[in-house]
């Protein structure tokens, strides 16, 4: 499936989700705030090594993250602040999960687990930062997109890692290694994209 086909399919799903949940008397921003609750609960479950429960709660948080934007678009209440708030809360949610992983007692795989957690989180931060910095510095006028690991793919892989951790926590460490490599490559790809866009 091509990128445009995936995007069209996602847009269709987003409209359906927005239509259903717009019937609930909550604003898009309220949905965004609500998503913090299951994310915090997922983080707690990770610290208790209850990985299946953590995966379920993480999935709920991600689903609510889809709902807020979908409701905003369907109801015509999409705002720049809403998009900004959504992105900011996404970063907090990711930090909750990563912070919890430090207390999950994950096993040593080649190196201590904390190294791989940092490697992943650093790559995740940088893949976001290089995009924001290019626009903030005026180097590019449009938002940079692309790279092998967009946020949706990253969250899906992390979800899979939490499920696999139920069988063996070492699997989650391997997932973190994959995420770290992918996130850091994405950051480098976005630097190259920024350079290309800024040279036009």
* Percent of the chain scoring above 70 in pLDDT: 84
In the beta sheet, which residues pair with residue 111?
A: 109
| pTM > 0.85: yes or no | no
Top-confidence range, 3-7, 10-14, 68-72, 163-167: 163-167
Cα–Cα distance measured from residue 101 to residue 103, given in angstroms and rounded to the nearest whole number:
5
- Report the pLDDT averaged over residues 170-195: 90
Asked if residues 58 and 97 have their Cβ atoms less than 8 Å apart, the reply is yes
Contacts of 107 (CB under 8 A, 6+ apart): 113, 169, 170, 173
Cα–Cα distance measured from residue 32 to residue 70, given in angstroms and rounded to the nearest whole number:
11
Contacts of 103 (CB under 8 A, 6+ apart): 46, 47
Collapsing DSSP to helix, strand or coil, 141 comes out as coil
Same topology, domains 26-104 and 106-200? Answer is: yes
| CATH superfamily, region 26-104 | CDP-alcohol phosphotransferase transmembrane (TM) domain (1.20.120.1760)
Buried b (16+ CB within 10 A) or exposed e, 63-98: ebbbbbbbbbbbeeeeeeebeebbeebbeebbebbb
Which of these ranges, 77-81, 123-127, 135-139, 177-181, has the smallest mean pLDDT? 135-139
pLDDT at residue 127 in the model: 87
**Span 106-200 CATH architecture:** Up-down Bundle (1.20)
- Report the pLDDT averaged over residues 140-160: 81
Which of these ranges, 37-41, 70-74, 82-86, 150-154, has the smallest mean pLDDT? 70-74
Question: Domain ranges in the chain?
Answer: 26-104, 106-200
pLDDT at residue 1 in the model: 43
Distances (CA, A) of 21 to 26, 32, 70, 75, 147: 9, 13, 8, 10, 31
Q: What is the DSSP letter of 45?
A: H
Summary mean pLDDT of the chain: 83
């Amino acid at each position: 499936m091509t990128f445009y086909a995936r995007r069209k399919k996602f847009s269709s799903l987003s409209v359906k989700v927005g239509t259903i949940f717009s019937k609930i008397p909550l604003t898009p921003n309220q949905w965004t705030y609500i998503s913090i609750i299951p994310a915090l609960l997922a983080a707690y479950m990770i610290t208790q090594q209850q990985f299946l429960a953590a995966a379920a709660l993480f999935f709920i948080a991600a689903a609510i993250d889809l709902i807020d934007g979908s409701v905003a678009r369907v109801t015509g209440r999409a705002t720049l602040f809403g998009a900004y708030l959504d992105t900011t809360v996404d970063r907090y949610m990711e930090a909750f999960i990563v912070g919890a992983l430090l207390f999950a007692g994950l096993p040593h795989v080649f190196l201590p687990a904390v190294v791989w957690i940092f490697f992943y989180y650093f790559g995740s931060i940088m893949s976001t930062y290089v995009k924001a910095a290019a626009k903030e510095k005026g180097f590019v006028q449009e938002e940079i997109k692309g790279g092998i690991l967009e946020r949706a793919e990253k969250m899906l892989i992390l979800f899979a890692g939490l499920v696999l951790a139920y069988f063996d926590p070492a699997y989650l460490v391997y997932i973190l290694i994959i995420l770290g490599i992918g996130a850091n490559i994405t950051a480098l790809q976005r630097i190259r994209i920024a350079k290309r866009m800024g040279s036009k």
